[in-house]
Every structure is written in C-alpha cells, then in structure tokens.
Amino acid sequence: MTMNSNRHATKFVISIVLLLAGHSLAKTGNSGAVATESPPAELIESWIADGTLSTKLRTVKTLNVEAAKVLVKHKVAVGDRTLDLPGLTSITPEVARILSFREGGEAVGLHLDGLTTITPEVAEALATGQGGGLSLNGLTTISAEVAKRLSGVKRKLVLNGLKTLSREAAVELAKHKSKFTLTGLTEISDEAAEALSQHSQTMLLNGLTRLTSASLTATVLRSNDGFANFKKVQTISDGVAKVLAEYRGTKPIELPGLTELSEVNAALLRANQKIVLPSKFQKPEQQ
C-alpha cells in the first residue's frame, strides 16, 4: 500500500471513530435537542472545527479532563472571555480546576448554572479562578462547608438560585472578598442577616420581601454600586426605617412594594428625598 493510501485510510478511520462517538453520545428528545454526556476531546475538536461548539456545549452534562483541557485551550486561543456550560449537571474537582484557570490571568466568566449541588472539593477547585465571575444559579441551598470553600472565590460570586440560607452558611459567605449576589432569597432570618452583614464588599439581595435587619440594610446601602434595590420589600422593621432615613447615597431607593408602614416611620422616610415611597404613604400634596 502506498503512503498516500495509508494517509487516506487513517483519515477514514478517524472519521468513522468520531462519527460513532457522536452517535453513541447523542440522544434526541421530543424537542429535537441533543443531550450529550462526556464528549471525548476529539468530539469537542470537531465541534470547534464545524462551528457548532456554542450550541453543542449547552447540552453537555459532564466533561472529562481531556475534553475540558481542549475546551479551555480553544477559548483562550480565540480570546473568548465567557465559558457558559448551562447543561453541566455534574463536575469533578479536577475539571472544575481546569475550567477555572486561564493563561495570562484574563478575567473570564464561568457559568455553571446547571449544577444543583456541589461538593466542598469542587467548591474549593472553583475558588482557584481569577477575575471575571462565577455563576452557580442552580444551587438552591448550600452547606456551611461548601459556603466556606466558596468564600475563597476571588471574583464576583453569583448565587441567585439560593432559596434558603442558614446562619452557619451566612457566616462563611460573609468572608467572601468580592461582589456577590443572592437575589433569589425572598426571606432571611435575623441571625443569618446579622452574619451576612459582616460582608465588606458589594452585595445584592434584591429579592427580599421582608427587611428586618438594620445591620444588613446598612451593609447593602454602604456598598451600593447602583444595582441594589428593595423594590420587592413589603414590610420593614423600625430599625430598618431608621437606617433608610439616614441614607445619603447618590441613587434613590425605591420602595414600591411596601404594604405596611407606621405613620411614624412614614414621616421619617418622607423627610429623606432619596427614599421613594408608594403614593399611599406620601403626604396628600405629594400624591
């Protein structure tokens, strides 16, 4: 057999392997979407080559080390500063560490919103990333141990899927040294709020419907970068009213959702032009 024949035969075999790999890994549901699990590195390379990488990645449920390395190498090469893997439902610490690292220290956003649970080891690996942001919106609750590891994340931390937060987890998250958001929380205990108030950077809790912690309110207002709001808040405590009355920030604080407010507190808040109350709590001439 000639050398050219050998080359053609090799290419043919590689094509068949990739075809079989893609066929064995792809599953088509009623919607026609492809759900892919553990794609081999060669399959990732073929998606890169045919321009379908972004679409195919949305269906990937898990990555092995080799595939993760190929993916990160490609993202670095093309200067893509966002890695979005919404379909990922499981991840190992090794893969988490690979996805978190970028050569040259470029700020990169890592979105893993399909993960509904992570181990402390994975959280620690994700904390090795630098710059950009880490989004874990699929988590609805976290243990104190996972929170402890995530507190080491050196970039924006997005946990907007959390529905509950224990005092113990709040103590750990308060140690985080960058901006983080918990906009999925609708309520928080006074104990957890007090612990969270120790956070020193920008913090968003825009989903709260009850605001009873004066210390937490003061922390949110003190680090407000223009995105903090209390628009869903329905009730506030006397202590919170006093903190709001003393607010001197540049951006107005709107409270359109307030349903209950004593006349004493209404008078306090009306005296601050930066606080915007619902019409029923304003003076008659202001309505």
Q: For residue range 135-180, list pLDDT tens digits in order.
A: 999 999 999 999 999 999 999 999 999 999 999 999 999 999 999 9
Within 13 Å, how many C-alpha atoms sit on residue 119's CB side? 9
Collapsing DSSP to helix, strand or coil, 119 comes out as coil
Q: What's the average model confidence in pLDDT over 106-126?
A: 91
What are the residues whose beta carbons fall under 8 Å from the beta carbon of 57, sequence distance 6 or more?
A: 47, 71, 84, 85, 87
Q: pLDDT by residue (tens digit) across 64-91?
A: 999 999 998 998 888 888 899 999 999 9
pLDDT tier for residue 33 given thresholds of 50, 70 and 90: very low
> What pLDDT was estimated at residue 76?
83
Q: How confident is the model at residue 224 (pLDDT cuts 50, 70, 90)?
A: confident
Collapse the DSSP code of 15 into the 3-class scheme (helix H, G, I; strand E, B; otherwise coil) and give the result.
helix
Read off the pTM.
0.84
136 token code pair: 């874990």
Task: Please list the alpha-helical segments (H only) found in the chain.
Answer: 3-25, 41-50, 53-57, 65-78, 93-100, 120-126, 144-150, 167-173, 190-196, 214-222, 238-245, 263-270
State the burial class of residue 73 (Cβ atoms within 10 Å of its Cβ: 0-12, 13-18, 19+): middle
> 209 with 186: CB under 8 angstroms?
yes
Q: For residue 79, what pLDDT is reported? A: 83
* Residue from 278, 266, 224, 265 nearest 247 by CA: 224
Name residue, tokens 């951006």. Answer: 251
| Distance in angstroms between the alpha carbons of the first and the last residue of the chain | 92
